[in-house]
Amino acid sequence: MLKYEDLLPEATNEFLEFQTKTLQENAGKLDMENSEDKWLAVTYIYGLNNQLKEYQARSFASELTLFLTNKIYNTDVGFVYREDWIDSHFYERFEKLNEKYENKDKEFWKEFIDYMIKFYKSSISWKYQRVSKYLQFRITDNEKAMFNEIPKDKPKEKFIYLLECYPYNLKELDTERDDGVLDKTFSINLTVGEYERFMQVLGDTKTQKFLNLLYYWHSQRGSLGT
Domains of the chain, by residue range, sit at 4-128, 131-220
Q: What is the DSSP string of 87-150?
A: HHHHHHHHHHHHHH-SS--HHHHHHHHHHHHHHHHSGGGGGGBPEEEEEEEEE-HHHHHHHHTS
How high is the pLDDT of residue 147?
A: 94
How high is the pLDDT of residue 182?
A: 84
How high is the pLDDT of residue 65?
A: 96
What burial letters (b/e) apply to 130-150, b meaning 16+ CB within 10 Å? eeeeebebebbeebeebbeeb
Among residues 76, 68, 158, the alpha carbon closest in space to that of 112 is found at 68
Rounded to 5°, angle at Cα 209 from 177 and 55 = 170
> How would you write the pLDDT of the chain (226 residues) with one tens digit per residue?
789 999 999 889 999 999 999 999 999 999 999 999 999 999 999 999 999 999 999 999 999 999 999 999 999 998 899 999 999 999 999 999 999 988 888 899 999 999 999 999 998 898 899 998 999 999 999 999 999 999 999 999 999 999 999 998 888 877 777 777 888 888 999 999 999 999 999 999 999 999 999 999 998 886 665 5
How high is the pLDDT of residue 225?
A: 58
How high is the pLDDT of residue 224?
A: 62
Model pTM above 0.95: no
How high is the pLDDT of residue 57?
A: 96
